[in-house]
A and B are shown apart, each in its own frame.
Chain A
Amino acid sequence: QVQLQESGPGLVKPSETLSLTCTVSNYSISSGYYWGWIRQPPGKGLEWIGSIYHSGNSYYNPSLKSRVTISVDTSQNLFSLDLRSVTAADTAVYFCARRYSNTWYFDYWGQGTLVTVSS
């Protein structure tokens, strides 16, 4: 069973960078699939942030692209999210997830981590 686990600070100050890591267990990122980030503001819906392949090929949501970098570290079997210049609007539960086969659905998800942007 593939497992994903998000980690990172739960509190980030406005204008700073939100950095999260997703560690993958029971599956080697190098074996394939795209890996991505999705977020959910409290009480609201889901927003796709972006996805990355083990080769480094990536896709981003244009609404966030100027502030987002997703990277992959195959040696540690993890991928990461950096979101720069955050504001209160970036407060959300951040999920990491795996793309399902060669489609753009998501079949395995992390439990999610709440990141609050506040001074």
Chain B
Amino acid sequence: DIQMTQSPSSVSASVGDRVTITCRASQGISSWLAWYQQKPGKAPSLLIYAASSLQSGVPSRFSGSGSGTDFTLTISSLQPEDFATYYCQQANSFPLTFGGGTKVEIK
């Protein structure tokens, strides 16, 4: 199985801050990576797919980069509605696996 490791596990930030979350795959996955946002009591929501493609309807302050084993999700200017937990997911091979999550909290 491909292990997905996210860091940090949590981050405290203020509205307007730039936030960066990283995800590392235990082996190369090309660009087969997605990022999801999950708010408490809700299902995850697809933000970014293919490492850097923005899902329809997702604000442009979200961006993704990387390929191979190292990936980054950046929120350029944190908004109140962005406080949530973010997960990466590899889609390179079965079983599909997710990172452990990064909780973005209010500072």
Q: Which residues of A contact B (CB under 8 A)?
A: 45-48, 59, 61-63, 95, 97, 100, 103-107, 109-112
List the count of A-B residue pairs having beta carbons below 8 Å apart.
55
Q: Residue B71 at the A interface, CB < 8 A?
A: no
A59 to B95, CA, bound (A): 9
Interface bracket on B: 20 to 34
7 contacts between A and B (CB under 8 A): A45-B101, A46-B98, A61-B94, A103-B32, A103-B49, A103-B50, A107-B46
Tell me the B residues contacting A by CB distance below 8 Å.
1, 32, 34, 36, 42-46, 49-50, 55, 87, 89, 91, 94-101
Main secondary structure of the interface of A (DSSP, over half): loop
Q: How far is the CB of B39 from chain A (nearest CB, A)?
A: 12
